[in-house]
Amino acid sequence: MGFFDTLKRLIIEEERTGSHTTTGSEGEDALLEELEPRHITDEEFHELIQEGVTLVDFWAEWCAPCHVIAPSIEDLAREYGTQTNITKLNVDHYPHIAGELGIMGIPTVIVFKDGQEFKRFVGVQPYERFAQAVEEALQEGT
């Protein structure tokens, strides 16, 4: 079985079973849910990026590389979710946002600080690059 066949199988399995794992306690489940990337709309996007640090993963369901970086985005939410907004925006649902930002390929991950683009990544990147950008944005101006 090739890479994309395996990836497709995993995606189908995740959709069938749901990606949320229970821990046994409602409080722990709620905390884990809070520390997952937040799927946002176009209206939420404009509001969220205005203040503080917000990372936005621009993705689409059909995009295999988007699924490759998804675990890194989830890890960022767990690591920085209390200090930043770690979000995902589906470009198939909100193509005008991608157009506004000049996004030509996905995955594209953009870190915003106080309404301004701070750093942009296109394509698959390691977790450390995203984390470093978030750290730099958090430290700038403090």
- What are the catalytic residues? 63, 66
Half-sphere exposure of 91 (CA within 13 A, CB side): 20
Residues 106 and 91: beta-carbon distance below 8 Å: yes
CA dist., res. 70 & res. 37, Å (int): 9
**Structure tokens, 10:** 């995993």
Of 19, 47, 42, give the one whose Cα is nearest residue 32. 19
